[in-house]
């Protein structure tokens, strides 16, 4: 529901069937049951949420379940398009994080929502960390969003179509010019890789997403569309555009199939995690569609596949047991499962009793002589599951929580977990807090607070301080405990180095992402001399950290290398030291292999096999086609800033 004051309003029904049954009995207007919003919000099982988003009328509004966010637009330039989070979703390659609304939704589920919120005075402004704001010249009249292409297109009074990465509001990735009148309608056709646009002079254009070129124009004389356009709809089922004026125009799309031989994907859905089994020399990748694929590491060919691993829920994280023979997956359904991944047999289900919250990350640890699966996520607790061959129960509940976890653990969602045998464990949260634990005693070893980047210190509103990746420098803990031995991601593409002595101290902080994008994954080589950092735009940066942050540092480490590995968020980064290669996955549906120097070996699932130790079989010096043509792959230049 959009209102003239620039507000976004949400009506949450906790009992849909009962509510609609009661509303159906209300007086009819033009033979349709009718209820005013003032009465609707006072109905049983209804909670009303209202945000102040724009400074002008809302021109378009849509909720996208895939990113759990509301996107709204207005003609006000400073708030032309706003992405408002409804739930937290940072680890799936889709990330618009929130805390405030997530808490409201939890209260709704518990029956604590307050209907009086609708009339509690002026609507509240959203916190900056809960929304992404795009400033666009002359505002926006229409937009569309495509999760697969990670693309937003906008159009308005200035007759220009702008293409945006939803995570980078600073500048568009492409500009499409050609319309001679304000743009009224936009639609992204995912399968055809096309953008459809309709302007107020009844001109229809079709654009190619990758080439950013106009493929077809239908002027009013050719299409015979007359009168003022009142509504448009593209129907993907019949591949046709409907345009209504005082009549309805039906324009079917007839296209020739285009060869896509240059595009290779490993999955049909975004890949949310992958890993390497040294025992079998196999790669396992898991997707948002709950599909698991097993690949031959040495050739890139597919070995096995099974689906519905977590029903209809996405697989958000994975790890292997110590032997590398069993796979552990965590899902959006709140469950963990242990698999024989060579035949798809589920050996165990690990879950809490009652409702389970999304699992964000997991790891397999050995404490003393016992093995455990440890998981973190939206429940803000560390869940420990005992793993023993003697346990015959197929469904297993977690161990009792540590007392320190209950009393003074995380206060926000936990996004990441990392271990340092034999006793240290680190967890990081949405609010920027990192907690280092003693796994043996269950006590808190140290608590670290992520710093705000220098350029953000004067910000009047909060920024996204979520920490999506942490990693230990294990040799330093053994040999030089006073040096920085924990690395964490930070806001605005920063990376932080921490010493863990005396309760923890920040030794160094630097901007690792040249795109100023969120750091999604980090990894260090076996010697811990090189730090690999991946960001939301698909770039990988390599930093020389051999002697870095042994004492407090003011400068950034030397950049050893960087390249673009994917066209969207990197979801896994695994170094296979013995073969000197790097394994990556991303939400662009690909799993790829690189040399540690950034040479492209290949994409898992490509027609041609490779041989790890035969460079002539690699794709290098070629790079993936979609990276080559993507505007974000252009070198940075001060003129383009």
Fold of 7-95+123-252: Methylamine Dehydrogenase; Chain H (2.130.10)
CA distance 488 to 492: 13
pLDDT score for 540: 98
Question: Can you give the three-state secondary structure of 618-630, one letter per residue?
Answer: CCCCCCCHHHHHC
pLDDT score for 97: 35
Question: Can you give the three-state secondary structure of 205-244, one letter per residue?
Answer: EEEECCCCEEEEEECHHHHCCCCCCCEEEEECCCCEEEEE
0.95 surpassed by pTM: no
CA distance 481 to 476: 6
pLDDT score for 568: 93
Cα–Cα nearest to 14, from 88, 106, 120? 106
Share of the chain residues as helix, strand and coil, in percent rounded to the nearest 5: 10, 40, 50
CA distance 501 to 510: 21
CA distance 326 to 333: 20
Tell me 2's DSSP state: B
CA distance 318 to 327: 7
pLDDT score for 468: 96
CA distance 640 to 468: 29
pLDDT score for 192: 83
With contact defined as beta carbons under 8 Å apart, do 92 and 272 qualify? Answer: yes
pLDDT score for 126: 74
pLDDT score for 420: 95
Cβ atoms < 10 Å from Cβ of 188: 23
CA distance 518 to 89: 14
Please, which residues have CB within 8 angstroms of residue 256's CB and are 6 or more apart in sequence? Answer: none
Quote the strand ranges of 41-150, DSSP E: 46-52, 58-64, 69-74, 81-85, 124-125, 131-134, 142-146
What strand order describes the sheet that includes 131-134? 58-64, 69-74, 81-85, 131-134
Domains of the chain, residue spans? 7-95+123-252
Give the residue ranges of DSSP H helices in 386-510: 403-408, 474-479
Length of the chain: 641
> At residue 549, what are phi and psi to the nearest 5 degrees?
60, 35
Return averaged pLDDT per consecutive 10 residues of the chain, 641 residues in all. Answer: 70 81 79 80 81 88 87 92 68 36 45 42 71 91 92 94 91 91 92 90 90 87 82 85 88 62 85 97 96 97 95 95 96 96 95 90 94 96 92 89 96 96 95 96 95 70 83 93 94 95 94 92 97 96 96 95 95 97 97 97 96 95 91 62 42
CA distance 500 to 423: 13
Indicate the burial class of 176 (C-beta count within 10 angstroms; 0-12, 13-18, 19 or more). buried
The two structure tokens encoding residue 92: 């799936």
H helix or E strand, kind and range, residue 37: helix 37-40
In angstroms, how far is CA 8 from the centroid of its own chain? 23
Cβ atoms < 10 Å from Cβ of 240: 15
How many angstroms separate the first and last alpha carbons of the chain?
37
The two structure tokens encoding residue 284: 């396992």
What strand order describes the sheet that includes 486-489? 470-472, 486-489, 494-499, 505-511
pLDDT score for 39: 79
Q: Which residue has the tokens 């699932």?
A: 605
pLDDT score for 121: 54
The rounded radius of gyration (Å) of the Cα atoms in the chain is 26
With contact defined as beta carbons under 8 Å apart, do 593 and 609 qualify? Answer: no
Report the relative pairing of strands 194-199 and 183-189 from DSSP bridges.
Answer: antiparallel
Report the relative pairing of strands 161-164 and 151-155 from DSSP bridges.
Answer: antiparallel
Question: 491 to each of 199, 209, 430, how far by Cα in Å?
Answer: 39, 30, 11
Question: 273 to each of 379, 471, 518, 537, how far by Cα in Å?
Answer: 21, 17, 17, 16
């Amino acid at each position: 529901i959009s209102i003239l004051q620039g507000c976004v309003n949400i009506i949450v029904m906790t009992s849909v069937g009962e509510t609609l049954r009661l509303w159906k009995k209300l007086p009819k207007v033009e033979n349709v049951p009718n209820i005013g919003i003032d009465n609707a919000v006072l109905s049983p099982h209804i909670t009303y949420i209202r945000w102040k988003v724009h400074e002008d009328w809302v021109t378009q509004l849509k909720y996208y379940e895939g990113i759990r966010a509301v996107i709204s637009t207005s003609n006000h330039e400073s708030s032309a398009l706003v992405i408002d989070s409804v739930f937290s979703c940072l680890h799936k390659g889709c990330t618009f994080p929130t805390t405030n609304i997530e808490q409201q939704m939890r209260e709704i589920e518990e029956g604590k929502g307050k209907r009086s919120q609708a009339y509690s005075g002026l609507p509240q402004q959203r916190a900056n960390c809960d929304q992404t704001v795009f400033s666009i010249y002359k505002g926006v009249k229409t937009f569309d969003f495509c999760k697969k292409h990670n693309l937003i297109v906008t159009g308005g009074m200035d007759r220009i179509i702008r293409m945006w990465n939803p995570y980078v509001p600073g500048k568009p990735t492409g500009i499409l010019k050609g319309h001679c009148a304000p743009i009224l309608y936009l639609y992204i056709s995912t399968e055809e890789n096309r953008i459809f646009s309709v302007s107020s002079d009844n001109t229809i254009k079709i654009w190619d997403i990758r080439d950013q070129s106009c493929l077809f124009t239908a002027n009013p004389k050719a299409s015979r569309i007359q009168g003022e356009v009142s509504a448009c709809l593209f129907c993907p089922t019949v591949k046709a555009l409907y345009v209504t004026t005082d009549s309805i125009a039906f324009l079917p799309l007839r296209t020739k199939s285009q060869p896509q031989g240059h595009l290779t994907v490993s999955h049909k859905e975004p890949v949310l995690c992958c890993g390497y089994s040294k025992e079998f020399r196999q790669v396992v990748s898991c997707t948002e569609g709950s599909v698991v694929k097993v690949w031959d590491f040495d050739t890139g060919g597919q070995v096995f596949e099974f689906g519905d691993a977590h029903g209809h829920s996405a697989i958000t994280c994975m790890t292997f047991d110590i032997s590398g023979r069993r796979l552990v997956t965590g899902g959006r359904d709140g469950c963990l499962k242990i698999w024989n991944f060579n035949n798809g047999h589920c050996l165990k289900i690990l879950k809490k009793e009652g409702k389970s919250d999304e699992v964000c990350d997991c790891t397999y640890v050995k404490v003393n002589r016992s093995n455990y699966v440890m998981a973190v996520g939206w429940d803000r607790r560390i869940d420990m599951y005992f793993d023993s061959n003697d346990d015959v129960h197929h469904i297993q509940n977690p161990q009792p929580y540590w007392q320190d976890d209950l009393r003074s653990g995380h206060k926000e969602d936990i996004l990441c977990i990392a271990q340092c045998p034999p006793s240290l464990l680190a967890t990081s949260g949405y609010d920027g807090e990192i907690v280092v634990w003693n796994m043996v005693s269950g006590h808190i070893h140290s608590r670290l607070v992520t710093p705000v980047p220098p350029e953000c210190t004067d910000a009047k509103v909060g920024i996204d301080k979520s920490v999506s990746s942490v990693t230990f420098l294990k040799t330093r803990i053994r040999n030089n405990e006073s040096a920085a031995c924990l690395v964490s991601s930070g806001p605005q593409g920063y990376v932080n180095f921490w010493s863990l002595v005396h309760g923890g101290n920040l030794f160094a902080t630097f901007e690792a992402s040249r795109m100023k994008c969120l750091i999604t994954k980090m990894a260090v080589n076996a010697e811990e001399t090189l730090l690999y950092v991946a960001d939301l735009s698909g770039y990988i940066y390599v930093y020389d950290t051999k002697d870095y942050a042994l004492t407090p540092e003011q400068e950034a480490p030397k950049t050893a290398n960087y390249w673009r590995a994917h066209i969207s968020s990197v979801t896994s980064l695994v170094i296979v030291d013995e073969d000197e290669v790097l394994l990556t996955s991303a939400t662009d549906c690909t799993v790829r292999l690189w040399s540690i120097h950034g040479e492209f070996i290949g994409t898992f699932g490509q027609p041609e096999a490779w041989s790890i130790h035969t460079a002539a079989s690699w794709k290098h010096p070629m790079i993936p086609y979609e990276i080559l043509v993507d505007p974000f792959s252009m070198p940075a230049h001060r003129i383009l800033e």
